[in-house]
Copies of this chain bind each other. A is one copy, B any other.
Amino acid sequence: MAEFTLDWARAARTGASEAVLCEPKTATQIDAIVEHARADGRRLLLTRLAERKFRRLAADARAALDYEPRSRTAVLGGLAAARHRERVAIVCGGTSDAPVALEAARTLAFEGEEATLMIDVGVAGLWRLLDRIDEIRRHRVVIAIAGMEGALFSVLAGLVHCPVLAVPRSVGYGVGQGGRTALRAALASCASGLVVVNIDNGFGAAHAALRMVGPPAVPS
């Protein structure tokens, strides 16, 4: 009754390797998925794998995984060698956005894309952003991550030519709680060239960026 089959065919159809969202799964289910993939010699990216749950995985699984706790990601089969650099910039409003920035960076690295990471260049200190804007402009896609009121999204999209991928962050309190305000600000922005993914969805932003920078590494 508890059997399930991973969708290996999905990779061929959509150009992405297999990823596993661990949050709603039990340690037992994750163990089974990892074992399956290892048996088939496949690579895997595990996301939203909290440190506490990682520690409850089977010793075999733990040993086979490259786990990074801040980003809550684990990789089976190693990160890909970087085939591309400086095509995707990841820009953060504050140090508390680092976990999602790292989730995006690791997801990109898993596919051979090395992103440029800039932490703490939010709009409260506008000069920090303006000082680095030329560097940011050199990239082909910008992933912008911000919580609170999300003003970074509008300001940034108004300053660059490439697509800006907004990732609202579930950081804040009161009306900012849970990231809803930052999400709405990204969607309601008067700046053009701005597109949005779900709150805290660094993984999704990375995959959308991959589709934007070019064809998948392996033709399909």
Alpha-carbon gap, A3 to B197, bound state (A)? 26
- Nearest CB of B to A138, in Å: 13
Closest residue to A120 on the B side, CB-wise?
A: B4
Asked if A171 lies at the interface with its beta carbon under 8 angstroms from chain B, I say yes
Residues in chain B near residue A201, CB distance under 8 A: 173-174
Residues of B within 8 A of A29 (CB): 95-96
Give chain B residues whose Cβ lies under 8 Å from the Cβ of A208. 163, 192-195
Minimum distance in angstroms from A20 CB to a CB of chain B: 10
Contact indicator B187/A147 (Cβ below 8 Å): no
Whether the pair B195, A158 counts as a contact (CB closer than 8 A) is no
A126 touches which one: B3, B4, B155, B187 (CB < 8 A)? B155
Given known A-B contacts A24-B171, A148-B190, A212 and B212 have beta carbons under 8 A apart: yes
Question: Which stretch from A57-65, A74-82, A176-184 is at the chain B interface?
Answer: A176-184
Do A173 and B149 form a contact, CB below 8 Å, given A13-B159, A25-B96, A215-B161? no
Answer whether residue A151 sits at the interface, using C-beta atoms and an 8 A cutoff: yes
Cα separation A154 to B147 with both chains bound (whole Å): 13
A-B contact pairs, 13 of them (CB 8 A): A2-B95, A2-B119, A5-B128, A14-B158, A23-B173, A123-B158, A123-B191, A151-B185, A168-B174, A174-B200, A175-B198, A195-B197, A212-B212
Kindly identify which residue among B98, B123, B183 contacts A154, using a CB–CB cutoff of 8 Å: B123
Q: How far is the CB of A113 from chain B (nearest CB, A)?
A: 14
Tell me whether A192 and B5 are in contact in the complex, defined as CB-CB below 8 angstroms, given that A149-B154, A185-B149, A186-B149 are known contacts. Answer: no
Closest 8 CB pairs of A and B: A174-B199, A176-B188, A24-B96, A195-B195, A7-B125, A151-B151, A192-B207, A174-B198
On chain B, the residues within 8 Å of A98 by CB distance are 2
